[in-house]
Amino acid sequence: MSIIVAASVEADLPAHPDLPAAPESLPTPEHLPTPEPPVPHVRSARLRDAPDLYALSRAFVPSGALRARSIGHYLAHAGEFLVAEGAGGDRVRGCLALRDEAPATAVVYNFCVAPGCQGQGVGSELLRAAVERARRSEVRTLFTATTGSARLFLRHGFVPVEPGEAPADWAAALDPARGSRVLRLTV
């Protein structure tokens, strides 16, 4: 009974100039534009971000993508980190740290993006912000190590190098069992 009533009510409605004349003229889901994910906001980490940095990073330890670090590391080194958060600061979507190693040289480490946020530009925004921070602090060479494909780094101008080209103490701390590739960017 309610279906018949709804149909008769719909038939009695006057046409509105801003609405389609018939339901068949409405766009179908495959014809609707896909909204772009919002560009993440990247900012310097704060001390209160340490638990979120720790939790986000822990998810990448079992695969060997990141080295295990204590919550104390994130508390002690919060100033080295950049975080990407969603609109309105809803949550930490990614992070990376930028640490000075030698005059005019720094390393990018602990770079990760939450699994549900990968492929949405979060990593690119973090990397752009890190390069900009390096430039402002007169860093001329950035190094990083990755166990992944390195595609993101390569797209941003990093090139593969031998570990011996990187700062000695940092390169010596790389675990060969993880199979990391060392990359360099001249900024």
The pTM assigned to this predicted structure is 0.77
Same domain, 119 and 181: yes
| pLDDT tens string 35-77 | 455 678 999 999 999 999 999 999 999 998 999 999 999 999 9
Q: Is 78 a member of any domain?
A: yes
If pLDDT is split at 50, 70 and 90, which confidence band does 184 have?
A: very high
Same domain, 46 and 129: yes
Residues 6+ apart with CB under 8 A from 4: none
Residue 2: predicted pLDDT: 42
Over residues 108-127, mean pLDDT: 94
Q: Is 176 a member of any domain?
A: yes
Q: Is 36 a member of any domain?
A: no
Same domain, 84 and 15: no
Same domain, 9 and 59: no
Same domain, 145 and 72: yes
C-alpha 83: how far from chain center: 8
* Tally of domains in the chain: 2
Same domain, 108 and 175: yes
Residue 24: predicted pLDDT: 55
- Cα–Cα distance, 142 to 131 (Å, whole number): 8
If pLDDT is split at 50, 70 and 90, which confidence band does 9 have?
A: very low
* Domain of residue 72, CATH code: 3.40.630.30
Same domain, 56 and 91: yes
Same domain, 148 and 120: yes
Give the count of beta carbons closer than 10 Å to the beta carbon of residue 123. 24
Residue 11's domain comprises 2-31
Same domain, 66 and 100: yes
Side-chain half-sphere CA neighbours of 130 within 13 A: 34
